[in-house]
Amino acid sequence: MTTPPPPYGHQPPPPPGFGPPPPQYAPHPVPAGPDFMAVDRHCSIVVDAEGVTFEINDVTAEFPWPEIRSVHYRPSPSGKHLMMGVIHLDGRFYECVVEAKPRTRLGEWFTRLQAVLGYYRPMG
């Protein structure tokens, strides 16, 4: 004859492969570090532990640190804008321009940006 099923509530353990991923494959939190953000009505620049992010008219471009060859920044010729460029490992160049209002904010941005980029990219 057949054996009776086990009593309700005493289920066998699930086969391997089910459940949460093992710890070595679980997502790792990004370590906290300094960050920089410059925003105007149309554009934004964010530099943080993950890399550099540009947003231009609701279009976002994210550049993780391992994919960045270098980051450059300077004031616009008028002295009213922060101009930042990212050079990708394959040589492509991406740029974002953010208006500084009031104009004195540009100096504050440069001070903060220099410190943040120095933290994540100490060799440039």
Structure confidence by residue, pLDDT tens digits, 70-115 = 999 999 999 999 999 999 999 999 999 999 999 899 999 999 999 9
pLDDT at 12: 67
54, 45 Cβ separation under 8 angstroms: yes
Of 122 and 80, which is predicted with more confidence?
A: 80
Domains and CATH numbers, the chain: 39-119 (2.30.29)
- In this predicted structure, the answer to whether residue 25 has a pLDDT above a threshold of 70 is no
How do beta strands 81-88 and 93-99 pair?
Answer: antiparallel
Q: H/E/C letters for each residue in 17-73?
A: CCCCCCHHHCCCCCCCCCCEEEECCCEEEEEECCEEEEEECCEEEEEEHHHEEEEEE
| Cα–Cα distance for residue pair 117/100, rounded to 1 Å | 19
Of 2 and 110, which is predicted with more confidence?
A: 110
- In this predicted structure, the answer to whether residue 23 has a pLDDT above a threshold of 80 is no
| pLDDT, averaged across the chain | 87
Of 69 and 24, which is predicted with more confidence?
A: 69
